[in-house]
Structure 1
Amino acid sequence: MDLKNEFLAPLVDEFFHLGVREVVFSPGSRSTTLALYFTHYKKYKTFVNIDERSAAFFALGIAKSHKRPVVLVCTSGSAGAHYLPALTEAKHSRIPLIVLTADRPNHLQFVGAPQTVNQTAYFGSFVKHDEQLSTPNKENFWSYPRKVAQRLILSAQNLPKGPVHLNVPVDEPLIPDLNPNYFKKEFFPFQIQKAMLHPSYLPDLSGKIVILAGPDSNLTAQKEMIELAERIKAPLLCDPLSNLRSFESPVIIDAYDAFLVDHTLQEKLQPDLFIQFGQIPVSKRVQQMINNNKQAQYIQVDETLEYRNPLLTTTLMIQSDIKSFCEAIQSFNRNDAFLLLWQEAQEKMRKKLNRVKNENESFEGKYIQLIQEVLNDETQILVSNSMEIRDVDYFWEAKNSSITFFGNRGTNGIDGQESTALGLSTTGKPTLLITGDLSMIHDMNGLLIGKTHELNLTIVLFNNDGGGIFHHLAQKNLPYFDYLFSTPHGVDFSGLKQLFHLDYTLITSDAMFRDQLMKMSKKTGVHLLEVRTNKNLSLLLHEKYTKNEF
């Protein structure tokens, strides 16, 4: 038999041997060979998502929750272009994705062939590695694709992790011979042994120190960070996406964004040294504090030497695994006077923030605390960007639990939220999405894979009919504010029940919210709990509960 595209079978086999377990397809003709081989291999968990934009965010969610690379497969032409928003997020949040774009062969390029564009370097700087698959010769017909798979995995997993791209020209016939023996051709074991990065330099950690724990979906060193903060008597400012708010310790500070509004108090709490782990925290007040103290030393500890401080105040970069760095620092500070100042501010502000549970009006901050009160310990929570992550930053209290937070804070976009959350749900753990109405509108197509693949997700939708965050920003007093920024839309989300066959409930009371959230977390399928709020009232209530009265 004359073999044509059958060399793609060992590519599929090699990815599995290198740790890939999930593949997300979007249907198309030119990608037939790849789709058939990945499916016929029978060892992968495969998903079909008809919308490439949604498919890429869905794969992003899988990779975040399972902590391993995920393969994406699409057809030729404009299909791959829809991957770009998710790839920008994957690049900046260090998530490994393997993108395989099918393409027409070289002799059909630049001659007006249908569904054909120049897919060379399709994703520019947003992928770590970009390669065009060649047609192998007789000598390397089965071995060449294995080496390509190895290069892609090595690049995706090398620090910083991120997405990679392989363009795959496929000539006709597009339907390959599905002989299972082709998967085994030219297999030789190939192993990857990753090392821990230990610090080669240990700074003197004495004096007044503040530790910043920012968003990082790859972070697993929470206990070591707490132990370091306790040894050196340093307040540990915990962004929700650091997942340090699933712990309790006297050094954990979670109400900082509220009390740092007070400039006099902020001056008292200024340190001699900042230490940053992960990305910069979402808190605007923390960033203002850093910017107002440029004379302080500023240490970034990261497994790469990427600059991740937009205030541009870093004075020392230490390349190290965070766990290794924290364990290596054995300094002890017996003077807790500076820490006590932070703890006093934390205690007073946390008490005030927690009063929100007694609020009679429909307010996002209250529902954040009700969610924390009700949720199962094993729940995964994806928090949308814009106001939702800020509401969680203010009102979610640090308590011992097994809840895990996720967020797309690489590029901070509001797109792809439903798809990312459904990707997270493939772990089988209870999964919750906290989102706003504009984010919901951006990715409603993403709900379809929840229906077609019978996935389980509960969505809490805060609907304030537009861009509520702009009521907190300088744009509030501009002309054409509603038209350009607040953007009221009047969408009736109850229609999603019929469109996607999901459960829909309009929340009308706190008791109803508690009851529905408890029920939904134990039921299968996609469930939407809509909480309607008022932008102007939410602004007033936010000021009421976060105003510093020290």
Structure 2
Amino acid sequence: MAGRDLHSTWARLLVRSLADAGARDIVSSPGARSTPLLIAALAHPDLTVHSIIDERSAAFFAVGQAKVTGRASVLLCTSGSAGAHYYPALVEASEAGVPVIAITADRPRELQGNKAPQTIDQTNLYGRFARDYFDAGMPDGTEDALRALRRKAAQSWSRAHGAKPGPVQINAPFRKPLEPREPNDEGRALRKLADEIAREPVVRAERPEARAHPDAVARLAEKVRRAERGVIACGPGALANGGARNALYALATRLGWPVLAESTSQFRFTGEASETRIDFFDTVLRSDEFRARMKPDLVLSIGGTLTSMAWPLYRAAHPEAFLAVLAEHDWSDASNRAGEIVFGPVAQTIDSLAHALSAQDAGAHADRNATDPSWLASWKRADAHAAGALADRFESDAPLTEGALTHHLVRSLPAGSLLALGNSLPVRDVDWYAQGAARDLAVWSQRGANGIDGLLSGAAGAASQWPGRTALLVGDVSLLHDLHGILTAVHAPKPLTVVVPVNGGGRIFDLLPLARTGAVPAEAFLYWTTPREPDFAGLARSLGATCLPVDTVSSLEKALTESTELPGCTMIIASIAPRTVAAEQEEIRAAATQAIDRDHA
């Protein structure tokens, strides 16, 4: 039947406008109400459409993509509860400052508030976690409405990539019929008008370039110049921060300060030795004596809050040390003790600080206090003792431990790979067991909200955009939380290796005070560790993944090599005795602490 085919014209203009603004990836979940938009996306030559059944998995996939590209992926779903499944991933995107656009198809106004099927109030569905909300409005053939729709697309793109990037919702209602119709004369005229509008350049609305305030940099430079015993601590940061590695280490070398870089900071895995990097600082700071003796006068914190469990102990031991924070856009001061927060792109701020120090040294402030020469040397000796506690520990063909698994995974990755880390234990394991000189790697994580949900889906999204190899280290409980992520990874456009330590549930709780106090009986402690014993290999294979079970170092090394040649999703299921996790950490820390304390006796 012929008609105006207004829905098709309206949807095509919205999708084309987003593509003109910069969109390249559409992540779609099935549903009828979004039909006009999906048809338009599939027809656009510049867009890649990824089909993911579960909206929660789809949203984490999109966020994973955007963490790599810095460009918003566009989510597309039907009406009703579908859009609500985006919520956890959009919380992560909001907290991490990651752009993403969620188009939630909707029912028309006459079906709102009267119990019509699959209809809820979708207005501002994501609350304060969204940077903005746009109502696309019902399809309207007037020129003003068509121009407004194109403007809203450009505006949503601009808001998603604003001063602090994040999620934006576009709510797009449609009436039936949703399927395209052969346009009549009026419909052809409407299509011509929309095409003419779309051929006009889309409005560009670049946000002002953020830079650290010169006064803040000057104040910080003066503090740094006078400090004798400084520490540079690097917490979670965007992949783009990797571009500041050389500048950071040049600054640290110039100052004679140790760099305590967590894996997620992008400053740890340089693939080469460093005069200033302290790889195993979490282990080093477990020594009460060392922690008390190494009194800093300034701490320069870069990025988000450190994951290290020992770092808060060190900060609490020396609350008088001046704390300066380099932050992209968030108030990153979990200790509530910061004396200066310098907002701006990390790489640019580090460069500005180095230039300010040079200017001060060359001018009237040439009386810069010299760094205590024993300061960095003491840190490096302690780090060597911590490394010594690990030496040769993971080389024998013994049953797998958490440490051996992590150590060999990192060493197996080619330079330029993307190492994706799950939360809870995996993100800490890498800091405990892997040296920064092992490989030159970028590290992907979900440290915005630090949840265990959507990790496999997010890593699959990241892998789809990363030019090299991607491997994910994720816990067994996290995997169970995102089983649909296996299906997502299997159908993703690029291969992904997933390494899963199956160790009887959430073993991180074995390392927390709760496990040591005896306040909770063993049978009740299971409510925290939640051990489950599904057939992980069977689950993986049933969803189309290749599964490689391992339980020794040699079988792990063989599986890691084999996985590089396999397409799709390869899951390495590593069996680890549950009680070895805490025991291994305790043994390593005891050996390292003994050596550190003996050296400084």
TM-score, normalized by the shorter chain, greater than 0.5? yes
Show the counterpart of 1:4. Answer: 6
Equivalent residue number for residue 244 of structure 1: 267
Partner of 2:185: none
What is aligned with 2:161? 157
Deviations 1:295-326 (A, max 9, x none): 2211112232x311211111112122222221
User: How far apart are residue 498 of structure 1 and its match?
Assistant: 3.5
1:282 and 2:307 correspond: yes
**8 Å Cα contact 1:8-1:145 kept in structure 2:** no
Larger mean Cα displacement after TM superposition, 42-51 or 180-189:
180-189
Q: Distance in 2 between matches of 1:454 and 1:148?
A: 31
SS at match of 2:45: coil
Aligned residue type for 2:52: N
2:27 equivalent among 7, 24, 28:
24
| 8 Å Cα contact 1:382-1:407 kept in structure 2 | yes
In structure 1, the partner of 2:451 is: 413
Query: Normalized against structure 1, the TM-score is what?
Result: 0.95
1:481 to 1:354, Cα distance in 2 relative to 1, 3 A: farther
* 1:423 shift after superposition: 0.7
Question: How much does 1:188 deviate?
Answer: 2.3
Please state if 1:112 is matched with 2:115: yes
Corresponding position: 1:391 with 2:391: no
**In structure 1, how many angstroms separate the alpha carbons of the residues matched to 2:135 and 2:460?**
31
170-179 or 220-229, which deviates more: 170-179
Supply the distance in 1 between the matched residues of 2:63 and 2:345 (Cα, whole angstroms).
Answer: 23
Question: For 2:298, which of 270, 273, 276 is the aligned residue?
Answer: 273
| From 51, 55, 58, the counterpart of 2:54 | 51
Give the structure 1 partner of residue 559 of structure 2. Answer: 516
Question: Structure 1's 65 and 354: CA in aligned 2 closer, same or farther, altered over 3 A?
Answer: farther
Equivalent position of 2:586 in the other structure: 543
Residue 370 in structure 1 maps to residue 408 in structure 2? yes
Does 2:83 correspond to 1:80?
yes
Is the 2:413–2:439 Cα contact (8 Å) retained in structure 1?
no
Aligned equivalent of 1:499:
542
Match of 1:317? 341
C-alpha distance in structure 1 between counterparts of 2:505 and 2:495, whole Å: 27
Shift, 1:3, TM fit: 4.8
**Which stretch of structure 1 is more off in the superposition, 127-136 or 340-349?**
127-136
Report the Cα distance in structure 2 between the residues aligned to 1:50 and 1:377, rounded to whole angstroms: 34
Q: In percent, how many aligned pairs have the same letter?
A: 27
How big is each residue's C-alpha offset from its partner over 1:367-417, in whole Å with a ceiling of 9 and x where there is no partner?
Answer: 111112222113211111111111111111011743211111111111111
**Unaligned ranges ≥5, structure 1:** none
Q: Is the 8 A contact 2:27 2:74 kept in 1?
A: yes
CA shift for structure 1 position 96: 0.6
1:36-185 map, 5 Å: 36-135=39-138, 136=140, 138-176=142-180, 182=194, 185=197
Q: Is the 8 A contact 2:453 2:481 kept in 1?
A: yes
Structure 2: stretches of 5+ with no match in the other structure: 183-187, 362-368, 597-601
1:213-246 deviation line (CA, Å, top 9, x unaligned): 1111242322221122122221111010112122
Q: Which residue of 2 aligns with 1:341?
A: 378
Give the 3-state SS of the residue equivalent to 2:125 in structure 1. coil
Residue 528 in structure 1 maps to residue 528 in structure 2: no
Name which of 328, 334, 358 aligns with 2:352: 328
Which residue number in structure 1 is paired with residue 477 of structure 2? Answer: 438
Give me the whole-angstrom Cα distance separating, in 2, the residues matched to 1:450 and 1:389: 20
CA distance in 2, matches of 1:308, 1:30: 41
Q: CA deviation at 1:133?
A: 1.8
1:197 to 211, 234, 245: 211
* Counterpart check, 1:402 vs 2:440: yes
Contact 1:482/1:488 (CA < 8 Å) preserved in 2?
Answer: no
Q: Kindly indicate whether the alpha-carbon contact (under 8 Å) linking 2:421 and 2:427 is maintained by their aligned counterparts in 1.
A: yes
CA distance in 1, matches of 2:90, 2:318: 35
d(CA) in 1 for partners of 2:20, 2:506: 46
What's the counterpart of residue 358 of structure 1?
A: 395
User: How far apart in 1 are the matches of 2:529 and 2:414?
Assistant: 35
Moved more, 499-508 or 474-483: 474-483
Matched AA of 1:4:
L
| Distance in 1 between residues matched to 2:206 and 2:20, nearest whole Å | 14
**RMSD, matched Cα:** 2.0
**AA of the residue aligned to 1:366:** A
C-alpha distance in 1 between matches for 2:565 and 2:205? 39
**Deviation at residue 183 of structure 1 after TM alignment:** 5.2
The offset of 1:497, in angstroms, is 4.2
Change (3 A) 1:255 1:528: same
1:299 is aligned, of 317, 324, 327, to: 324
8 Å Cα contact 2:21-2:202 kept in structure 1: no
Residue type of the alignment partner of 2:134: E
Letter aligned with residue 507 of structure 1: V
Mapped to 2, the partners of 1:406 and 1:69 lie a distance apart of 17
Alignment-mate amino acid for residue 123 of structure 2: T
Write out per-residue CA displacement over residues 130-181 of structure 1, whole angstroms, 9 at most, x where no aligned residue.
2222234613232111111121111111121111111111122212469886
Structure 1 CA distance, aligned partners of 2:451 and 2:86? 14
Q: Are 1:211 and 2:232 counterparts?
A: yes
Give 1:200's aligned amino acid: P
Q: After superposition, what is the alpha-carbon deviation per residue over 1:171-205, rounded to whole angstroms, capped at 9, x for unaligned? A: 22212469886555342243344525143222211
Offset of residue 82 of structure 1 = 0.7
Pick the structure with more helix per residue.
2
* Amino acid aligned to 2:453: D
Letter in 1 for 2:305: I
Kindly state the Cα deviation for residue 11 of structure 1 after the two structures are TM-superposed: 1.7
Q: Give the greater-gyration-radius structure (CA).
A: 2
| Post-superposition offset of 1:358 | 3.5
Q: Is the 8 A contact 2:486 2:543 kept in 1?
A: yes
After superposition, give the CA deviation of every residue in 1:433-479 in whole Å (9 maximum; x if it has no partner): 10111011111111112333454111111001211111111222312
What CA distance in whole angstroms lies between the structure 2 residues aligned with 1:454 and 1:413? 25
Q: C-alpha separation between the residues in 1 aligned to 2:171 and 2:339?
A: 41
TM-score, scaled to structure 2? 0.87
CA contact (8 A) 1:299 1:316 kept: yes
1:235 aligns with 2:237: no
Contact 2:551–2:576 (Cα < 8 Å) also in 1: no
- Separation of aligned partners in 1, 2:449 and 2:370: 40
- Inter-partner Cα distance in structure 1 for 2:304 and 2:181: 48
1:264 is the counterpart of 2:289: yes
Distance 1:395 1:115, change over 3 A: same
Secondary structure, aligned partner of 1:462: strand
Distance 2:413 2:115 in 1: 56
Q: 1:176 to 1:513 in 2, by over 3 A?
A: same
Report the more deviating stretch, 146-155 or 400-409: 400-409
1:535 match: secondary structure? coil
The DSSP-based 3-state class of the residue aligned with 1:439 is helix
Please give the alpha-carbon distance, in whole angstroms, between the structure 1 residues aligned to 2:95 and 2:116.
35
In the comparison of the two structures, how many residue pairs are matched? 549
